[in-house]
A and B are shown apart, each in its own frame.
Chain A
Amino acid sequence: MSRPISTLRASAEMTNGSIFPVFDPAGPYAGSITTLTWVLIAMFVAVLGVVISALWIALRGSGQLKARLGGTRAIWIGGIGFPVVVLTALLVYGLTLTRNLTAPVPQDAMRVRITGEMWWWRVAYLDRSGRPFMLDANELHIPAGRPVLLELESNDVIHSFWVPQLSGKLDMVPGRRNTLPIQADAPGVFAGQCAEYCGGPHALMGFVVIAHEPAAFDRLMATRRARRPAPDARGRQLFHSTGCAACHRIAGTEANGMAGPDLTHVGSRRSLGAGILPNNRGTMMGWIGDSQSIKPGNRMPPYKTLSAAELQALAAYLEAQR
């Protein structure tokens, strides 16, 4: 396959994310699950130890030990009593934790709607009344130390939102709206990936969450609100003449397409192609020219007829959209 594989990079690498995200939680929602995970691993080791010891005694033990094991009493203790006690304790723990994790978040928590698309993520920051005031894609900025409520939806098939360092996963089901609270305790960058098979390049559907100090987050939002569309005339003209605007929106310009990812802030994104390429001039040109060789099956057609200079101009224009 002719694919510029050397440029494809896991978002974890681009983001300095964790190799063991489930064991390396960044906030309370993931953290309590990490604790649970360690408890479950301990249970796993202990019970497996009991069963293997019992099996060992049955096969190789002394006559006296074997005699104790060889009767229905052993089944009642080992096969019924022991599991019932362990399972009941676990169940109480698990259900309590489930209730805590699904407890309502404060009314004034920031809300973001994330919509699964084949094969990228539509991001809409919502105001207090639940209306979108800023659109983005494949990347989410949040303030650290505060809960953020995600409204998860889908426009086509079922996807699943999973950023393991921030919370467990939750499906995006067409016709339904699920809500997922997340929180990062400190600034950082966290990688995620679609977890429900959604066909085609499901394997290449990554996501990035960036947590900022609250003050820095507010500054970012303010900067974004105050932005003016980049003035690059040549790139802007190409963006329209080539047809990009039919699918992509850049706020403040005539580009109003909603089928593809919103590009208003594409220049400031850390990755391209939904978390699979680092974002720079070269990768942007490569993506526009032939995204099919990078992410086969994605919905963006290749633009192989564009010259290098045209690609350069387009990439520069998009780079300036911050």
Chain B
Amino acid sequence: MKSETGFDPALYDRFPTAGERPESELKELERIWCAPKGWQLLTAVNNNYIGFFYVAAAFLFFLLAGILALVMRVQLALPLQGILPQETYNQFFTMHGTVMMFLFAVPMVEAIGVLLLPQMLAARDLPFPRLSAYAFWAYFVGGLCFFASLFFGLAPDGGWFMYPPYTSITYSPGINADFWLLGIGFIEISAIAGAIEIIVGVLRTRAPGMTLDKMPIYAWAMLVLGVMIIIAFPSVILGTLLLELERAFNWPFFDPTRGGDALLWQHLFWFFGHPEVYIIFLPASGLVSMMVATMTRTPLVGHYLIVLAFLATGFISFGVWAHHMFTTGMPNLSIGFFSAASMAVSVPAGIQIFSWIATFAVGKPRYNVPTLFLLGGIVTFVIGGLTGVMVAMVPFDWQAHDSYFIVAHLHYVLIGGMVFPMFAAFYYWTPMISSRALSERLGKWAFWLMFTGMQVTFWPMHLVGLMGMPRRIYTYLPGREWEVINMISTVGAFMLAAGISAFLIDVARNFRFTTDNDAGNVYGGGTLEWLPTGLYSARSIPVVKSREPVWDDPHLAKDVKAGRYFLPGSATGLRETLVTSPVRAEPQYLQIMPGPSVWPFLAAVFTAGFFILLTIQAYMPSFACGILAVVCVLRWLWDTDRLVKEPEVDVGAGIRLPTYVTGPRSHGWWAMVILLIVVGMIFVMGVFSFFYLYGVQPRFWVAPADLWSLAIILPAYGAAAGLAWLARYMLAREATEHWTPGVLFLCGAIALAIGIGADLWSWIASGLRPEASGQGATVYALLSLEAMLATISLLMASYISARNSRGMIVRPRNNSLDLCVLWVIYTAGQGALTAVLTRAVGG
């Protein structure tokens, strides 16, 4: 057998080990992973708790946004009703879309991942538990405040897509639009944090032997999801930054009279917005694939094809964004490309559908509640997919676009592709976290009411769209027979709501959260999450030999529970998990995990406070919150990256692994690289905006580029990168007490500041002003991004110095320093590119 890391796979044969493990070992494990009680639960970081809170919170937002929809359906049941006044209705539909997409769908798919992945991969926890806790609390607190804006009439009313110029300060002078822009700031943060967690979790914390080939299909879906989030979200992050800069400081990114362009926003928004649909759909498809296999008691037919389909979907989905813009007057060539790509993306969907059908054909399906939701979801999704093919046909889209036909289409896709699979998953995985399974009888009521209600609500909308009813209208005039159809839709909406109520009753009656006394493998699933678990996940981490180990090894559950595999107890007396190699999942080292802490929670509260207070223009309290948030984050990091006294421990059967590694092997390094990809994508979208506006309105590119200033800027950035690298180099050659690496790092950060300062000065001297033109706005926006990174570098320098003075920057290699050095080198590179690219055109 080949090896990826030099680990000898023959060592796997030592498992399961013979003999009994000492009783005290399990007690110790329980003590170490014991969750805080009462109010202290706010400090919990374990994925069982955070994942459950996360799912519950996302579901709460689903209910809230659903209630908004019901009120809108009442308003539209008859023409010219006055139940919701115009401005309230406009806020309602904006919030319905925004909350469903940003506060329900994306958080929900990440939440289910947080809850399921560690168990499914037999990891003790996700690799960054405190980051999970932070992401959850920032999302929850911020999301509730954002939703509350409705009660004060301050909710955004620009639609969930927020097209300028309607959302510019001229046409939306209130702070409502700012609520949207800043309000989703923390959602962007938590989505990115979740993605980093999920990618590193899937690639680095799989059970030994779980090669990519043996990885559950759901983990594949989540891996693609993570990658899609880190590529797609930066686009909307940049878009919201630019729109807020335009609103707050009058920088004309989207104002055509000063060299901006309204369509720039649409490109940025939909480059995120369309992959977003697949970000929601792929994880659900992963869940469906898992459940179809269990419900038919047969391995998924076409496993590899589905993996390929996920990858293809992820790839193609980045080439379809402009199909939301077919009616903006695009040139035919672009139309052809985006039309073809939009159709191509339905091929991977076809693969998934037919794989599930083939699996049903091979196995003997059981008709329980999850199966019903799966079948209902498949049929509904296929209908939505087919109307999707229809609107990918450009001339038809010219009729259907922005009509109720699209409302029908997108609800079929999202409800069939994500909501029904989610309910199937709720029924299927509840026994994993509840001491009782949900009821089959109530579940069938829930399914049939929801399925029928869904069809009755949304099927007629296809028709009323083709009858000429546009979207986003708060009322309509009598005399066109729209009222009949709208009344049917409203009745359907209440049936759908009744179905969801049946589910809620079921949950109230039967759901009892537990971490160690769950109902068990009720449906007979074959993957690792069905092993007996406690808060520490599986008692011992098994060697995985197939894709459905629980099916293939009847002794597995017993052996795992008896501690006959990896890590039967705690090797260091701390929370820990195995980190394995990305492809073949060979054990590499033992990660020491942080335990409960109040700092992620406080950091999250202050982050949410920062954004919300900034929105209501309470600047001083806002900045105070921002500073406190940074302090809390640093305080939580302070506990991390420490050596334990054993450099190497026995992780079971005499296999010894290190407890501290640095460089590309460490999980921290992976997280930093992914974060830098995110930052890099934000930069790429910024550069795109710069060249896009130049292409559209070159006559506003009048400020001369000062090429001589590069003679200062580029060497400064070069010095920054060199000094940072030198800090790392010197570390290995210095005694612990020495301050040289800290000082070198600080000098690197200062060199960054000099570079950005020189760049800024050069543009100011050339007379360019950010509010003057598209050129000014984009140049200063790119400089602001760079300045932000440089500021973080300075913060890192003080953090490194502080740690060094306490002897915590250990020699010869240290993760904290390594990661900060990566950041500085990246920042220097981006700064140099900024300086060169902004001078490439114009003047």
Contact = CB atoms under 8 A, between A and B. Distances in A.
Contacts of B471: 195, 197
A191 interface: yes
B91 to A, nearest CB: 11
B301 A70 contact: yes
B305 A72 contact: yes
Interface residues of B, number: 83
Contacts of B346: 83, 87
B480 A13 contact: yes
A194 B328 CA distance: 14
B466 interface: yes
A90 B398 contact: no
Given A90-B343, A94-B394, A21 B467 contact: yes
B340 interface: yes
Contacts of A191: 468
A131 B596 CA distance: 73
B64 interface: no
Contacts of B329: 152, 170-171, 173, 176, 178-179
A214 interface: no
A203 B327 CA distance: 19
A195 B339 contact: no
Given A58-B361, A75-B354, A195 B393 contact: no
Given A48-B382, A79-B353, A19 B261 contact: no
Contacts, number: 274
A59 B360 CA distance: 6
A55 B379 contact: yes
Contacts of A253: none
B468 A197 contact: no
Interface string B468-507: 1011111111111100000000000000000000000000
Contacts of A33: 395-396, 398-399
Contact of A70 (B159, B362, B399, B478): B362
Contacts of A54: 354, 357
A71 interface: yes
Interface string B158-181: 110001011000111000000000
Contact of B477 (A10, A40, A97, A157): A10
Nearest to A32: B395
Contacts of B386: 43-44, 47-48
A75 B301 contact: yes
B87 interface: yes
Interface in B555-602: none
Contact of B395 (A36, A193, A297): A36
B85 A1 contact: yes
Interface string A48-63: 1001101101110100
Interface residues of A, number: 93
Contacts of B357: 51, 54-55, 58, 69, 74, 78
B332 A162 contact: no
A160 B158 CA distance: 16
A19 B361 contact: no
Contacts of B375: 55, 59
Interface in A71-103: 71-72, 74-75, 78-80, 82-84, 87, 90-91, 93-95, 97-99, 101-102
Given A93-B393, A191-B468, 17 more contacts: A9-B478, A19-B467, A19-B480, A36-B396, A37-B466, A51-B379, A78-B354, A78-B357, A87-B344, A90-B389, A94-B396, A158-B165, A168-B397, A173-B263, A195-B327, A201-B86, A202-B473
Interface of A: 1, 3, 5, 8-13, 19-23, 30, 32-33, 36-37, 40, 43-44, 47-48, 51-52, 54-55, 57-59, 61, 66-67, 69-72, 74-75, 78-80, 82-84, 87, 90-91, 93-95, 97-99, 101-102, 118, 152, 156-158, 160, 162, 164, 167-171, 173-176, 178-179, 191, 193-204, 206, 276, 296-297
Q: Which 6 residue pairs are nearest across A and B when measured between Cβ atoms?
A: A175-B256, A168-B398, A13-B479, A203-B473, A79-B354, A1-B82
